Amino acid sequence: MKTTASAILKTTFVALALAASMGAAFARPGVITREAFACTSWAGAYAYTRASLTKQGAKANKNCPIRLSTGTKVEIIATDEDGDGYVEVSVSGRKWWIDDERVK
């Protein structure tokens, strides 16, 4: 019985490791074409975009803490399949959401 439980545990671990690596397997290289704030989530990127349309404009905050300069190399993880205007990118091992018009 111990052997069966051990085999199931190993199989589960391998399956989870494979599933976790699938996102990176489909990533493609990209470059930031215009300076962009990088946000920690889709909701943060959406809120930043809404704030940028106001008279005061948007500012860096805890949801969008860094600015990616033009020419920064990124890995594009998730594309804009739903037409929401954002893509998920990886920069130096961290995942960020940015405006899809600013990365190619």
pLDDT recorded at residue 89: 92
Residue in 62, 27, 55, 53 with CA at minimum distance from that of residue 99: 53
Give pLDDT, residue 70.
93
pLDDT at 66 over 60: yes
pTM of the shown model: 0.65
- Which tops the pLDDT comparison, 25 or 88? 88
Q: What pLDDT shows up at residue 14?
A: 46
Residue 102 sits at the vertex; the CA angle it makes with 101 and 104, to the nearest 5 degrees, is: 85
Kindly tell me if the per-residue pLDDT of 29 is higher than 60: yes
- Is the model's pLDDT at 11 over the cut of 50? yes
Task: Measure the CA–CA gap between 59 and 57, rounded to whole angstroms.
Answer: 7
Class at the top of the CATH hierarchy for domain 25-102: mainly beta
Length in residues, the chain:
104
Query: CA 96, CA 37: separation in Å to the nearest integer?
Result: 9
